[in-house]
Structure 1
Amino acid sequence: MARDSTTRDMLIDATSRIMVDEGYAAATSRRVAAAAGVKPALVHYYFPTMDELYLDVFRRGAAAYLERQREALASDRPLHAFWETLIEPKDARLLLEFMGLANHRKEIRAEISAWQDRWREMQITALNFIVREHGLDTSEFPPAGLAVVIAAVGRTLILEQTLGTKGGHDEAVALVTRFLDRFEMPSKRRD
């Protein structure tokens, strides 16, 4: 029997939805099968272990995020677009679930680390260009440091929102927006 990529995609989609809505612990083979509308045995037919399914969910999301980040960093307002990719609640919730899963599974931790290195490398390359384009001193505004700070603020906001905390969030978003505006303000307005 040939493996149907549609069924495989349905299983990956169902797992992702369950992880976002209920957490990774709820994404059992039975729950995934029920959400995808297939028999539980099909989950293990396509994915011999749940870790393989989790890894495929992560890889699909990571590749999609990498493409969105690439588009954001190539846009007319790359910093603002990059910031928007970091504060997307669904992406951040799924990443947080994978971070929890990675605490227990070394292979998943290694995969996340490898993708994080790819994302960060792209961010640093783009930020290096942006910082230099605006005549800023890279020792004062190191692109690697900017990438970490922007990502950390975005992830912290999502984490706190997930916990039900929102105090200071509007102010933090406004602060980051003002900071990014200074970098992306048209040159005639900066002078």
Structure 2
Amino acid sequence: MTRRPHPGDSTTRDLLINATIKVMVEDGYAAATSRRVAGEAGVKPALVHYYFPTMDELYLDVFRRGAAAYQERQTRALTSDRPLHALWDTLIEPKDTRLLLEFMGLANHRKAIRAELAAWFGRWRDTQITALNSIVREHDMDAGEFPPAGIAVILAAIGRMLILEDALGATAGHDEAVALVNRFIDRFELP
């Protein structure tokens, strides 16, 4: 039977989750060991396994917390006065994407993580497509020429690639790509 910590112990649990996020963003998922996370959180390594009997449970809690916060930001963006611009801004946020990319790497090795990511990506994309369907209609765009699902994939792919390349120090063409996307969005949402 899995031990469950007392609800009053959430401060330590939060410390461990935040430490894991920091380690994963700064040094990658492979560095997020129980010993390293404990050191970052300033607690004994045994506490990691007290709160999270397996590392997968810790990783899943980290992912779920980040995914919920990201989904909330995306929802706010898509319901804002300028939803396309706001969505684009969420898609080019480096910290969020770096952590997501670490989870994508982790998902290559852990089935539970892969299943969680696949389910989340489905919900995430569905939210975008639903909102973009409304945006396309409201702006009298031709859904055949500008399919909402296609817009969602292209914006996310460009945002992710910019962040990936930036992390490598390869930024040639980035300013032009951002300007191009902004010009496209400006056609429908003038600043």
Q: Same fold (TM over 0.5)?
A: yes
Please give the alpha-carbon distance, in whole angstroms, between the structure 1 residues aligned to 2:6 and 2:96.
32
Q: Which has the larger displacement, 1-10 or 98-107?
A: 1-10
Match of 2:133 among 128, 131, 154: 128
In the other structure, the counterpart of 2:36 is 31
1:109-147 Cα offsets, whole Å, 9 max, x none, are 110111111110110011110111111111111100100
Match of 1:165 among 153, 167, 170: 170
Deviation at 1:185, TM superposition (A): 2.3
TM-score (norm 2): 0.95
For these two proteins, the number of residue pairs brought into alignment is 186
Partner amino acid, structure 1, of 2:135 = I
Please give the alpha-carbon distance, in whole angstroms, between the structure 2 residues aligned to 1:161 and 1:97.
15
Alignment of 1:106 with 2:120, yes or no, is no
Alignment of 1:97 with 2:107, yes or no, is no
- Provide the alpha-carbon RMSD of the alignment: 1.0
In the other structure, the counterpart of 1:189 is none
Please give the alpha-carbon distance, in whole angstroms, between the structure 2 residues aligned to 1:169 and 1:137.
28
Task: Name the SS of the counterpart of 1:185 in structure 2.
Answer: coil
Match of 2:6 among 2, 8, 16: 2
Unaligned runs of 5+ in 2: none
In the other structure, the counterpart of 2:50 is 45
Please give the alpha-carbon distance, in whole angstroms, between the structure 1 residues aligned to 2:39 and 2:88.
36
Q: Which has the larger displacement, 43-52 or 2-11?
A: 2-11
In the other structure, the counterpart of 2:150 is 145
Unaligned runs of 5+ in 1: 187-191
Please give the alpha-carbon distance, in whole angstroms, between the structure 2 residues aligned to 1:42 and 1:176.
46
